[in-house]
Chain A
């Protein structure tokens, strides 16, 4: 437990994206001290390796793109989650579908697991390697292959950075709708693996609603295309089953995404409240009134206080909570919803309702929201970001309970989240150098998950299960529910070599211990 490191990544504060390089984010400010198990004499050059697996990989790719050195293996032993102690085996950088397939086939032939990885921005440990698997790093497959404006679709490789696609589409009137907070760095392949969300998924849906078809290297190395460019699935919706598989069902090598039209009108509103409860009730009232805003986000006072000095968005720092509401569509509908939301907000005690006057003001309001995770570094050096979903009508009650849980554990929490779909993101702040703090962080995290499920919610709204939450799966699912999920997984991966230690509490373990309430051996949060 002593090896927790700061995981400040500052997605929205660092200039430009870094996802297309081979450097995973999370290695920015903090340098992780070498794990003793991974230090030792430098490995030989992969090209002259005596390891037959490495030789097979080098002959399929080339020596430069098959790395066995301690540096590469350490770099790819973690993602943006708090989970440490992962152990990468040989690290491969394929550039084509055939090379990805060759990596998979070589792994199988030599009895090794494989773990696919994009930019490593995942928060649940889905890309953290267990038991030295072959790492299939897809960041070099970063080409936008085809954009069909008239049919509103594009084919991309998995390593294309999320925001780069929308930037590429500038001027076409189209964009890629999923907008996770890490969109400057995360890859579309990673979005597919995690079924990623983002603020605007409230109206537009999470990644699965935006993936039409996907070319997949199945866990036996076979290449198939799942889904269709147009229309309902032919036969089983295997595309729908694959999306969100967290790398356990195969590796996406080409992805056909749906493109969304730029709305003719957009309005961004900032509402401020003297209590979190009043803000939460306003969220429920907006949904109950039959409106689905494009985005509906909440930030509590601690978040507002932290980000305002960075962005000067004009947030009211004395407000207990603010809501950011975005409406888009045609002008009359947008104007009508602004009016109705202002009425509802005032009826629920909003002190002020500000409608951004221009694009600059809109951008400042959003910049504050998106900078939140960076700004917290001034408060505490480390954080643990949770992700659960609750019924929207229970927001006020559950958030109140979260404040109590965190107080009981003597921690600090900031709440900045997708309120419109009930997707909570309590951010627990701590200083890992403080003795015993991790036990309290984990206890609070577990209690938040329990409270969410007890309120009729689910374990994850957009981060996935990975390693982080698989021990909680039985809180939400019965053994029969989990067995049905295992049936889906086994059809894709009968031999269990694709990222086997993830998602389901049954099956492969990381190290050899996966008992409830304990992290896998050799892994710590």
Chain B
């Protein structure tokens, strides 16, 4: 048995098969969707298990700090399409399920998770998904787990899709409508709009970035530092709140305070309730948390 497997056995034993339980990661999103409500806290395994640059995948303990993983991947010119604050863990960011600011380039966070080694509410270990970059074998449990706040199963170890780091990145900003910037660019990595100014992140081959930047200069955009966004989040409803910044095309508004959770139809609520009950009939996994209480 490999060291990684031994750590997974330990994780399973820590989770056990009774009593309210949750995984504590970096605690950077600890209150999202409600607190853990007194549940016993366990830790997920830490460390990179296998990194195979030729396969463009990495197997990593869910308790690994995202920044540690990013640092190791950068040595190989790779990255994962995930973003979190300092201290955030891989598992925590997946369970919260918010896509990276560069989602237009790196994809949504749901596209990143290929395989998850989990412990179910019954204390039994199971694996969701598969190790390859393409896989439609059985149901897509991985997508269901991303954003589930640990209410369906507790994730100990994952395989993630990696991507090559672009050779050049450049932020530009100017007082122009975002639609004009989108028309003048091909697949920009991020477009932000604060109601007056549009900021755009160009990434790719250096000459392509320069050529696009020259075109945007004609619209009045010039190079700038990466933007600092407000800490709260809300969902785009067609109107920008004061001080808010829209992440164009993502439905996310970065704003001072978190917005309220979006409304959900009764039918979806019932289906979600059946889903949670199906995976955790006794309600022991993150009992205080509800993914439908999350702002955006």
Contact = CB atoms under 8 A, between A and B. Distances in A.
Interface stretch (A107-115, A359-367, A453-461, A508-516): A453-461
B268 A235 contact: yes
Contacts of A208: 140, 143
Interface string B236-272: 1000000000000111100000000110110110111
Contacts of B275: 236, 238, 241, 488, 491
Given A232-B97, A461-B136, A391 B131 contact: yes
A171 to B, nearest CB: 15
A503 B139 CA distance: 8
Interface in B69-126: 77-78, 97-99, 107-111, 118, 120, 124-126
Interface string A166-197: 00000000000000000000000000001101
A53 B138 CA distance: 32
B225 interface: no
B283 to A, nearest CB: 14
A478 B125 CA distance: 10
A132 B294 CA distance: 44
A407 interface: no
Nearest to A233: B147
Nearest to A209: B111
Interface in A234-259: 234-238, 240-241, 243-245
Contact of B118 (A423, A477, A484): A484
B126 A480 contact: yes
Interface string A451-491: 00000111111111100010001001110111111011111
B296 interface: yes
Given A481-B128, A491-B278, A423 B134 contact: yes
A504 interface: yes
A418 B136 CA distance: 14
Interface in A390-410: 390-393
A75 interface: no
B292 A234 contact: yes
Contact of A261 (B187, B207, B267, B279): B187
A437 to B, nearest CB: 28
Given A288-B53, A332-B205, A238 B268 contact: yes
Given A232-B98, A478-B127, A484-B118, A237 B55 contact: no
A336 interface: yes
B140 A391 contact: no
A226 B138 CA distance: 19
Nearest to A331: B208
Contacts of B187: 261, 329
B2 interface: no
A481 B127 contact: yes
Contact of A230 (B128, B139, B250, B278): B250
Interface residues of B, number: 79
A35 interface: no
A151 B249 CA distance: 7
B22 interface: no
A485 B54 contact: no
B132 interface: yes
B119 to A, nearest CB: 10
Contact of B205 (A244, A333, A473): A333
Interface string B155-199: 000000001110000000000000100000011000000000000
Contacts of A60: none
Interface in A217-231: 218, 222-226, 228-231
Contacts of B63: none
B77 A461 contact: no
Given A476-B130, A478-B126, A488-B141, A223 B267 contact: yes
B97 A233 contact: yes
A422 B134 CA distance: 8
Chain A residues touching B, range: 35 or more
A389 B148 CA distance: 28
B153 A484 contact: yes
A426 B147 CA distance: 37
Contact of A329 (B56, B124, B204, B261): B204
A263 B134 contact: no
Nearest to B135: A458
Most buried by B among A194, A245, A488: A488
B187 to A, nearest CB: 6
B132 A488 contact: no
Contacts, number: 244
Nearest to B125: A480
Nearest to A237: B143
Contacts of A225: 265, 268
A490 B118 CA distance: 19
A154 B81 CA distance: 25
A264 interface: yes
A88 interface: no
Contacts of A477: 127, 138
Interface string A274-314: 00000000001001101110000000000000000000000
A206 interface: yes
A487 B249 contact: no
B135 to A, nearest CB: 5
A440 interface: no
Given A230-B251, A478-B127, A391 B55 contact: yes
A263 B131 contact: no
Contacts of A336: 205
Contact of A484 (B110, B135, B141, B265): B141
A381 interface: no
Contacts of A352: none
Contacts of B211: 330, 332
A95 interface: no
Nearest to B52: A393
Interface string A427-446: 00000000000000000000
Nearest to B162: A290
Contacts of B148: 236-237
Given A236-B148, A503-B139, 20 more contacts: A150-B179, A224-B267, A230-B236, A231-B235, A231-B296, A235-B294, A237-B97, A241-B139, A241-B140, A244-B136, A263-B186, A287-B55, A290-B165, A329-B205, A330-B204, A390-B132, A458-B132, A465-B137, A480-B125, A480-B126
28 contacts: A151-B249, A209-B111, A229-B251, A230-B236, A235-B294, A238-B275, A241-B140, A244-B136, A261-B187, A290-B78, A329-B208, A330-B186, A330-B211, A330-B212, A333-B205, A389-B134, A389-B135, A469-B137, A476-B137, A478-B126, A480-B124, A481-B126, A483-B126, A484-B128, A485-B139, A487-B279, A489-B139, A491-B275
Across chains A and B, which 6 residue pairs bring their CB atoms closest together, nearest first? A231-B251, A240-B143, A230-B251, A333-B205, A290-B164, A332-B207
Interface of A: 150-152, 194-195, 197, 201, 205-206, 208-209, 218, 222-226, 228-238, 240-241, 243-245, 261, 263-264, 284, 287-288, 290-292, 329-333, 336, 389-393, 418, 421-423, 456-465, 469, 473, 476-478, 480-485, 487-492, 494, 503-504
